[in-house]
Amino acid sequence: MKKIEIKWTSLFYNVVIAALVLVSFFGLSVETLASSVAVGVTSGVALGFVSSKGLAFMAVQVEIWRSHIEESLFADNTFLNHISDVDQDNILNGKIVHIPQSGGGSKVVKNRTVKPAQVRTRTDDEVLYRIDEYTSDPVHISDAETKELSYDKRDSVIREELDALANETAEGVLENIISSPVGGSNSIPADNILLTEGEAVATGLAGATGNRKAYGLSDLQKMRNFMKKQNAWREGQMYALLTADAETQMFPANSMVTATYMAQVTEEERRNGVMYKCQGWKLLSRSSVYVLDENGNFKTYGSEILPTDDEGCLFWNKNMVEKALGQTVFFDDMGNPVWYGDIYSFLVRIGARAKRKNYEGVGVLRQVVSV
């Protein structure tokens, strides 16, 4: 049988609350006060049988954290808000996404004279991409830490884990947009990678050395022209994710032109990460986007930065890039008897790809060496 430890201050508090409630309904009397004592003592003792472990669990609302996972992924990487969502009918078993590719329209003849016309069969194709699974390492919080620390370590740990998860998933999406490992590994064509043409500036890529050609507003116009030639330009749907250096070089703080481009952004767009609007592009920024080696090959995130490496920025048509956000799970093991505390971990499934087989609507601006 559970041993009950009576806390007299808690019993007194219960009696006071009971008295206030009963007096409000039945008025002040000796009978009312006597009933208050009985109700307060009885409820206080009864609460002694309630498991403290059960009450502790109330501090972690699993369903709330599941939705918070998704909010965190998008809040810290707002460019994800500007990528179209997958049609759920195109997902196969929750792992592979199929994007149908049209075989092209029929030939159109003006004032046709030869009849009957030749019947054509359209052969469609598809591109595939995978929904990747990201899982955090389980983290342990001891029972003592939940009681003795002056701050809420559980909340601190969970939020830190979410920050790391958000960064990893965002980088995974950026990689998948320009390269798909399924359906025949393929990557963005070299023609979709444009080069900067500005004056020489020192590279800001940590680990790289030497000078690079600066980013400039003319690069935005050049990328706009490229998208139009691809028939991938759609007003109001064009976005770019700039590196920190690209933002600084294109939009210096002491320029009145910068203020003009910032003023064109609506409050709603600003909340969704858009910093500037220029040359038809809605521009966002991130500490880093892509790193390319001296041969123009994309490097995986976390790779060692070499002196000859360059950085790159992403440009895209919102409706020509697609993401699929699958299952998000918050795992918890409260009061684990082996670890003498609580254990938490997270799982997120997400994938992305350019919708077109030949990556129309997606471009990369590479900052190249200045010689």
Q: Look up the CATH number of the domain holding residue 271.
A: 3.90.1690
C-alpha 11/C-alpha 358 separation (Å) is 73
Examine the domain organization and report whether 260 and 221 are in the same domain: yes
Cβ atoms of 121 and 312 within 8 Å: the answer is no
Q: Which residues pair with 126 in a beta bridge?
A: 100
Q: How much is the pLDDT for 3?
A: 46
Q: How much is the pLDDT for 107?
A: 74
Examine the domain organization and report whether 28 and 72 are in the same domain: no
Tell me the mean pLDDT in the region 306-330.
92
Asked if pLDDT for residue 98 goes beyond 80, the answer is: no
Give domain status of residue 241, yes or no: yes
Looking at per-residue confidence, does 7 or 76 come out higher? 76
Examine the domain organization and report whether 39 and 137 are in the same domain: no
Give domain status of residue 134, yes or no: yes
Asked if pLDDT for residue 313 goes beyond 90, the answer is: yes
Examine the domain organization and report whether 63 and 34 are in the same domain: no
C-alpha 39/C-alpha 18 separation (Å) is 7
Sign of the C-alpha dihedral computed for residues 66, 72, 77 and 79 taken in this order = positive
Give domain status of residue 2, yes or no: no
Residue 101: band (very low, low, confident or very high) from pLDDT cuts 50, 70, 90: low
**pLDDT above 70 coverage of the chain, percent:** 71
Residue 308, burial from CB neighbour count under 10 angstroms (0-12, 13-18, 19+): middle
Examine the domain organization and report whether 346 and 223 are in the same domain: yes
What are the pLDDT digits (tens) for 228-273? 999 999 999 999 999 999 999 999 998 988 999 999 999 999 999 9
Examine the domain organization and report whether 13 and 94 are in the same domain: no
Looking at per-residue confidence, does 304 or 15 come out higher? 304
Tell me the mean pLDDT in the region 304-314.
97
Range of lowest pLDDT (73-82, 286-295, 359-368)? 73-82
Q: How much is the pLDDT for 116?
A: 81
Range of the domain at 27: 8-50
Residue-averaged pLDDT of the chain = 80
Examine the domain organization and report whether 334 and 242 are in the same domain: yes
Tell me the mean pLDDT in the region 145-161.
71
Asked if pLDDT for residue 292 goes beyond 80, the answer is: yes
Give domain status of residue 175, yes or no: yes
The total number of structural domains in the chain stands at: 2
Could you count the other beta carbons within 10 Å of the beta carbon of residue 184? 8
Examine the domain organization and report whether 304 and 350 are in the same domain: yes
Tell me the mean pLDDT in the region 112-126.
70
Examine the domain organization and report whether 12 and 156 are in the same domain: no
Q: How much is the pLDDT for 131?
A: 86
Q: Which of 99, 140, 49 is closest to 332 using CA atoms?
A: 140
Examine the domain organization and report whether 46 and 63 are in the same domain: no
Q: How much is the pLDDT for 160?
A: 83
DSSP string across 98-141: EEEE---PPP--TT--SSSPPP-----EEEEEE-EEEEPPPEEE
Examine the domain organization and report whether 144 and 171 are in the same domain: yes
C-alpha 352/C-alpha 129 separation (Å) is 7
Give domain status of residue 339, yes or no: yes
- Can you state the angle between helices 153-178 and 62-75, rounded to 10 degrees? 50
Q: How much is the pLDDT for 200?
A: 97
Give domain status of residue 203, yes or no: yes
Examine the domain organization and report whether 18 and 80 are in the same domain: no
What are the pLDDT digits (tens) for 48-57? 444 444 333 3
Tell me the mean pLDDT in the region 105-128.
71
pTM of the model: 0.74
Give domain status of residue 108, yes or no: no
Give domain status of residue 122, yes or no: yes
**pLDDT above 90 coverage of the chain, percent:** 44
Q: How much is the pLDDT for 47?
A: 47
Looking at per-residue confidence, does 128 or 254 come out higher? 254
